[in-house]
Chain A
Amino acid sequence: MDFGDSPEESEFRLRLRAWLVDNNPGLPTSSTDDEYWAGMAAWHRLLYDAGFFGMSWPTEIGGQGLSSVYEVIVDEELAAAGAPPRPSLGYLVQGILEHGSDDTKRRFLPGIVNGRDRWCQGFSEPDAGSDLASLRTRADRDGEDYVIAGQKVWTSYSDEAEWCLVLARTDHDVVKHRGISAFAVPMRQPGIEQRPLRMINGVTKEFGQVRFDGARVPARNMIGAPGEGWSLAMTVVSHEREPGELGYVARYSKLVNDLRRRVQKDPGDFGADQVRELGWAIVEVEMLRRHVQRRLSDRLNGISHGPEGSVDKLLMTWVEQAAGHAALAIGGMAHGGGDDTWLNAYLYSRAQSVMGGTSQIQRNLVARRILGLPTT
């Protein structure tokens, strides 16, 4: 067991560190304002072009083909430099890699990885949240196409995206989990209406709702076989729950480092309780960093899409919300006006126990699929 770098890892780390000196875009704290989200597309392409994105993905799709632990080295160096985290779209890549045909993988994955194509994920619906399998969006065959009708919600980056990975019902005569298929749907077409949702911290770039009304998608854009949509969705969400896939160690490290510098600037302004709140956030982030190193090392045995992602998701949620509380304690509530960055970081942290599957659902999965507890 070794937490240290091999010579190759160390060389890579130093090369990335040197590159970051000149290439850190210095975006504001993640998730707290629209400027951040607007700048992420350029950051993605910059990282990719320099060979610092998709470290562990296959070279055929534009990845670097290295071992999984390079992902956490990237996270650590981005955090140390105060740079934005890497784009969080590994879960889409994993889902298409696992379920797509050679044709769909070849057509769609390089564009996702290199950042030229922006994607969003059309899973949740107004009446299908935790009970995702009851979704009602339908895809009906019409010649060489499917025609899509229905409504999606909580669709992150739907206003920026060129493509949407849509789950839709293609078979109404089988049990609900079996009748769902997945499609890569082009977003820029008539029959798709996209409307942003404003989050509780004021951000409008992230969340959206999408209405499909006669949108068309070629049948050859189906990812996986007819009826394989549920299985694909479970692969996608299992990775959407992994901080190692999302690169969130860098996000949380940046936040607590910023808070630490704030306290160090005017130590007399902060009481013991405030500083200890920050201390717990530092401890939580350290835990998550070590946990991600452990989980990405486990991938050296081969990737799995199992319920362990729910453990990761709950840990990640506790970390983000501890960091959110520290941001509130240190940053305050801007009663007198002024900078509300940290208030907004706190407000945004409340979404972490909902997005990608609520904490309640993660607990169900841990209890039933890991602890083996019975269902009624």
Chain B
Amino acid sequence: MDVRLSPEQQALRDSAAHIVDRLAPKAVGQIGDLERMARLDAAVAGSGWRELRTETEGGGCLATGVEPAIVAEELGRGLADVSFLGPTLATELRRLAGAEPGDTVETVALDTALSSLARAVNGESPPAVAIDAQGSARALLLVPDGERHRVAQVELHTPPIGLDLTRPSVILDSSSVVTPIDAAHPPITADDVTRWTALGLALTCADLVGTMRGAVELASDYASERQQYGVAIASFQAVQHMLADAFVAMEGSRSVTLHAAWAVDALPAGEALTAAAMAKAYCARAAINVCETAIQVHGGIGNTWECLAHIYLRRSLLSSDLLGNASASLSHVLVHHGLEVADGLR
């Protein structure tokens, strides 16, 4: 047991941090700056991070769950408006299906509650959402095949929208044409889908950890500059204690997330999913609190569009719902521990 990042993992983190610090938006006004976004997208494309979960010649995977989690945390910290989670999960789905890597940037489609991969019905796409769809030409989804699933794709035509201004979605409807992808393997198993979900949850948690870290830094910097009563408001214990709690919640979230990211490949699929559900329940609850704290510390400014604090909140709101919210994750934990919930008042 040694849960320190390896030198290679530290180098990956530093390289991701470097790109984020150079190219991610520093102000709300920079969101939607197409030239900057193109440079950020080119940097991420050139890094190969979206392909970390590609199959190697030996049949393994280029990276464990930890490496993409390291990237996701840095992207979340800097509010990077570039797709990563969606394309990484598309890469993973292709690998599980035994398909060749996609020839263009693609993401995945989830049901409209964002709780699981979308399932096509009778060759038609159900109402679904292609997440993290900036720059993606298509989205992958599942087609039921007996007890198993095949992987299919839909083309994306409409512009991305949504509450998270840095990771917008494309809404799909039943007019979307579902085309099976060529895949070497037989239909993917329930275990494959479970492991895919564990990866998705772990990366979502990592993004939440980064979002929390960025929100705490933003609010700490603001509180150290903003003066009232002739002193920086960061010198008041009432403010210090809010920021300290936020920082501590982020650190706890990181610990449980690192384990979930490691578990993706190291544990049996069911245990990997439970580790991910533990992390998601913890991180989703923590992140909303932390981002709300960031808004509160900014006072009136925090409630204006121009303040980055609500961009963090929006990013954490989307992440908190992705692949199962805190409540659904907690229910999974309870069932795993053999606890059935009896409904109703007693």
Task: Decide yes or no whether B3 CB sits under 8 A from chain A.
Answer: yes
Give the nearest-CB partner of B9 in chain A: A1
Q: Which of A279, A294, A368 contacts B255 (CB 8 A)?
A: A294
Chain B residues, Cβ within 8 Å of A271: 342-346
Contacts of A367 in B (CB 8 A): 234, 237, 240-241, 243-244
- The answer to whether B330 and A280 touch across the interface, beta carbons within 8 angstroms, is yes
Q: Which residues of chain B are within 8 angstroms of A374 by Cβ–Cβ distance?
A: 224, 231-232, 234-235
B341–A69 touching, CB < 8 Å: no
Interface flags, B224-251, vs A, CB<8A=1, else 0: 1000000110111101110111011001
Across the interface, do B3 and A260 meet the contact criterion of CB distance under 8 Å?
Answer: no
Is B137 close to A, CB under 8 A?
no
Please, what's the 1-or-0 string for B248-279, where 1 marks a CB less than 8 Å from any CB in chain A?
10011111101100110010000000000010
Distance in angstroms between the alpha carbons of A366 and B346 in the assembled complex: 43
B172 contacts the other chain (CB 8 A): no
Interface string of A255-277 (1 = CB under 8 A from B): 00000100110011011100110
Known: A260-B337, A283-B330, A286-B256. A366 touches B342 (CB 8 A): no
Which partner residue on chain A sits nearest B277 by CB separation? A283
Q: In the complex the two chains form, what is the Cα distance from A271 to B234 in whole Å?
A: 43
Q: CA A158 – CA B145 in complex, angstroms?
A: 69
* A371 and B255 within 8 A (CB): no
Decide if A4 touches B243 in the complex (CB within 8 Å): no
Q: How far is the CA of A363 from the CA of B293 in the complex (A)?
A: 15
Main secondary structure of the interface of A (DSSP, over half): helix
Number of A interface residues, CB 8 Å? Answer: 55
Q: Is B66 an interface residue (CB 8 A)?
A: yes
Give the complex CA separation of A276 and B330 in angstroms.
8
Q: Is the CB of A1 within 8 A of B6?
A: yes
Q: Once the chains bind, are B220 and A294 in contact (CB under 8 Å)?
A: no
Q: What CA separation (Å) do A371 and B344 show in the bound complex?
A: 45
Docked-complex contact B330 and A287, CB < 8 angstroms: no
With A271-B345, A282-B337: A315-B252 Cβ-Cβ less than 8 Å: yes
Taken together as a complex, chains A and B put the C-alpha atoms of A278 and B333 apart, in Å, by 10
- Of A73, A270, A279, chain B has the most CB atoms within 10 Å of the CB of A279
CB-CB under 8 A from B231, the residues of chain A are 374, 376
**A283 touches which one: B223, B243, B281 (CB < 8 A)?**
B281
Most buried by A among B6, B231, B234, B339: B339
A146 to B274 alpha-carbon distance, docked (Å):
58
Contacts of B263 in A (CB 8 A): 3
A282 to B343, CA, bound (A): 20
Pairwise interchain contact A293-B241, C-beta atoms closer than 8 A: no
A174 at the interface (CB under 8 A from B): no
Say if the beta carbon of A350 comes within 8 Å of chain B.
Answer: no
Name the interface residues of A313-346: CB closer than 8 Å to any CB of B. Answer: 314-315, 318
Of A22-30, A209-217, A296-304, the stretch lying at the interface with chain B is A296-304
Report how far A135 CA is from B111 CA in the complex, Å.
62
- Please tell me if the beta carbons of B248 and A314 are within 8 angstroms of each other in the complex: yes
A352 interface residue per 8 A CB criterion? no
Task: State whether A373 and B223 are in contact (beta carbons under 8 Å apart), knowing that A291-B251, A366-B248 are contacts in the complex.
Answer: yes
User: Which residue on A lies nearest to B5, using beta carbons?
Assistant: A1
Contacts of A278 in B (CB 8 A): 334, 339
- Asked if B34 is at the interface (CB within 8 A of a chain A CB), the reply is no
Chain A residues with CB under 8 Å of B237's CB are: 360, 363-364, 367
B282 touches A373 (CB 8 A): no
Q: For the complex, what is the distance from the CA of A278 to the CA of B340, rounded to whole Å?
A: 12
Query: Is A198 an interface residue, CB under 8 A from the partner?
Result: no
Q: Which residues of A contact B252 (CB under 8 A)?
A: 287-288, 291, 315, 318
Complexed CA–CA distance, A260 and B334 (Å): 10
CB distance from A90 to the nearest CB of B (A): 18
- The answer on a CB contact under 8 Å between B235 and A279 is no
Contact B258 A290 (CB under 8 A): yes
Whether B338 sits at the interface, judged by CB under 8 Å, is: yes
Are A279 and B266 within 8 A (Cβ)?
no
- Cβ of B216 within 8 Å of any chain A Cβ, yes or no, is yes
Give the Cβ gap from A243 to chain B, nearest Cβ, in Å. 11
In the bound assembly, the distance between CA atoms of A298 and B258 in angstroms comes to: 14
A2-B262, A373-B220 given as contacts; is B248 within 8 A of A272 (CB)? no
Rounded to whole angstroms, the CA-CA distance of A293 and B339 in the bound complex is 27
Known interface pairs A264-B339, A275-B334, A279-B330; A287-B255 also in contact (CB < 8 Å): yes
In the complex, are the beta carbons of B3 and A3 less than 8 A apart? yes
Cα separation A355 to B125 with both chains bound (whole Å): 58
Instruction: From A260, A268, A282, A301, name the one whose CB has the most chain B CB atoms within 10 angstroms.
Output: A282
What residues of A have a CB within 8 angstroms of the CB of B339 in the complex? 260, 263-264, 267, 275, 278-279
Contact partner of A293 (CB less than 8 A), chosen from B1, B342, B343, is B1
The closest CB in chain A to the CB of B343 belongs to A272
Report the minimum CB–CB distance from B279 to chain A (whole Å).
8
Q: How far is the CA of A271 from the CA of B11 in the complex (A)?
A: 49
Minimum C-beta distance from B140 to chain A (A): 29
Is the beta-carbon distance between B6 and A264 smaller than 8 angstroms? Answer: no
- In the complex where A1-B3, A301-B4, A311-B247 touch, is A260 in contact with B255 (Cβ < 8 A)? no
Instruction: State whether B247 touches A371 (Cβ < 8 A).
Output: yes
Cβ–Cβ contact B240 & A279, under 8 A: no
Does A14 sit within 8 A of B, measured CB to CB? Answer: no
**Cβ-closest chain B residue relative to A293:** B3
Q: Does B33 sit at the interface, judged by CB under 8 A?
A: no
Q: Does A60 contact B (CB under 8 A)?
A: no
Q: A residues touching B (Cβ–Cβ < 8 Å)?
A: 1-6, 9, 69, 72-73, 260, 263-264, 267-268, 270-272, 275-276, 278-280, 282-284, 286-288, 290-291, 293-294, 297-298, 300-301, 311, 314-315, 318, 360, 362-364, 366-368, 370-376
A/B interface sample: 26 pairs, CB < 8 A? A1-B66, A2-B266, A3-B1, A3-B259, A3-B263, A3-B266, A5-B1, A69-B1, A264-B339, A267-B339, A271-B344, A272-B342, A275-B334, A279-B331, A286-B256, A291-B255, A293-B255, A364-B237, A366-B247, A367-B241, A367-B243, A371-B216, A373-B220, A373-B223, A374-B234, A376-B236
> 5 closest A-B pairs (Cβ-Cβ)?
A367-B240, A291-B255, A366-B244, A363-B244, A373-B234
Given contacts A9-B1, A263-B339, A284-B282, 5 further A-B contacts (CB under 8 A): A272-B341, A282-B337, A283-B330, A311-B248, A367-B237
